[in-house]
């Protein structure tokens, strides 16, 4: 049984900022400790 992970607003905004700066999805996952690519639907 899995639990849905909800990330704080600060993490979401940081992911958007990093993506706009040209970081790849994989790099953002590592930096922000996000488990799934689908959670970075930017």
What are the pLDDT digits (tens) for 1-42? 567 788 899 999 999 999 999 999 999 999 999 988 888 876
- pTM for this prediction: 0.77
Tell me how far apart the alpha carbons of residues 19 and 13 are, in angstroms, rounded to a whole number.
Answer: 10
Cα Rg of the chain (Å, integer): 10
**Of 37, 1, 8, 7, which is closest to residue 28 (Cα–Cα)?**
37
Do residues 38 and 7 touch, judged by C-beta distance below 8 A?
A: no
Give 2-6's long-range contacts (Cβ < 8 A, gap of 24+): 5/35, 5/39
- Looking up tokens 């930096």, which residue turns up? 31
pLDDT at 20: 96
pLDDT at 32: 95
């Amino acid at each position: 049984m899995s639990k849905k992970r909800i990330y704080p607003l600060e993490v979401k905004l940081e992911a958007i900022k990093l993506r706009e700066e040209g970081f790849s999805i994989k790099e953002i996952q590592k930096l922000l400790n996000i488990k799934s690519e689908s959670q970075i639907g930017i």
